[in-house]
C-alpha cells in the first residue's frame, strides 16, 4: 500500500480546519480589506434593492405605470449585482454576508419603513441612495486598486456606470413632470 504524500495530508488537514479558505495570491490583509469593502457594497445593494421593490410595490398616482416599470427594471439591475459581488468576495478568499441581520448590521443606506411615501419622494430617496452607492463603489475601487485586485476594480467600474444610469433616470423621471419617457 502506497504511503500518502505528506504535503497532501497537510493540505487536507488545513482544508478541514478552514474549509472556506479560497486559494489566492492576495495576501491576508488584501483579502480582509477587499472583503470588508465589498461586503459593505453588497449590504447596500441588498438594502437599495429591497427599498426599490418596496417602492415598486407601493407606488401610486397618475404616473403609476411609468414609475412601477422603472423601479421594476432598477430592482432587477440591483439584484443582478448581488451574486457577482458575493462570488468575487469568495474568489479573493473572503467570506460574505450570511443573513438579513448581517445585511442590517453592515448596510450604510437607510431603510424606509413608512406606511406611505409620495411617489416623487420615493424617486428622490432612491436617487440619493444610488448616488451614495456610486460614491461607495468608488471608495471600494480605491481599496481594490491599492491591493492590485484588477478583476474586482473592473467589475466595480461597470457597476458605477449602472448606478449612475439609475441615478440619472430617477432624476429625470422626477424632474420632467413625472414621466419616464424621453
| pLDDT at residue 58 in the model | 97
| pLDDT at residue 43 in the model | 98
Residue 157 phi, psi dihedral angles, 5° rounding = -60, -40
Give 76-118 pLDDT, tens digit per residue.
Answer: 999 999 999 999 999 999 999 999 999 999 999 999 999 999 9
In a 10 Å sphere around its CB, with 0-12 CB exposed, 13-18 middle and 19+ buried, how is residue 159 labelled? buried
Q: What is the pTM of this model?
A: 0.85
DSSP 181: -
Query: Which of 162, 178, 175, 153 lies closest to 48 in space, CA to CA?
Result: 162
Give 57-76 pLDDT, tens digit per residue.
Answer: 999 999 999 999 999 999 99
Domain extents in the chain: 27-175
| pLDDT at residue 20 in the model | 57
CATH classification code of 27-175: 1.20.1260.10
| pLDDT at residue 7 in the model | 82
Indicate the length of the chain as a whole number: 182
| pLDDT at residue 182 in the model | 39
Asked if residue 16 has pLDDT above 80, the reply is no
Amino acid at each position: 500500500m502506497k504511503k500518502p504524500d505528506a504535503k497532501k495530508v497537510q493540505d487536507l488537514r488545513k482544508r478541514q480546519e478552514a474549509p472556506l479558505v479560497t486559494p489566492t495570491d492576495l495576501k491576508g490583509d488584501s483579502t480582509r480589506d477587499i472583503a470588508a469593502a465589498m461586503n459593505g457594497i453588497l449590504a447596500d445593494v441588498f438594502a437599495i434593492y429591497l427599498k426599490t421593490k418596496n417602492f415598486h410595490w407601493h407606488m401610486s398616482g397618475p404616473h403609476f405605470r411609468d414609475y412601477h416599470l422603472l423601479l421594476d427594471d432598477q430592482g432587477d439591475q440591483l439584484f443582478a449585482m448581488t451574486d457577482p459581488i458575493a462570488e468575487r468576495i469568495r474568489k479573493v478568499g473572503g467570506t460574505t454576508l450570511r443573513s438579513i441581520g448581517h445585511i442590517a448590521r453592515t448596510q450604510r443606506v437607510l431603510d424606509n419603513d413608512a406606511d406611505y411615501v409620495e411617489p416623487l419622494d420615493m424617486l428622490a430617496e432612491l436617487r440619493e441612495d444610488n448616488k451614495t452607492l456610486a460614491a461607495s463603489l468608488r471608495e471600494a475601487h480605491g481599496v481594490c486598486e491599492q491591493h492590485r485586485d484588477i478583476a474586482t476594480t473592473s467589475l466595480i467600474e461597470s457597476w458605477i456606470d449602472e448606478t449612475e444610469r439609475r441615478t440619472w433616470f430617477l432624476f429625470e423621471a422626477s424632474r420632467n413632470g413625472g414621466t419616464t419617457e424621453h
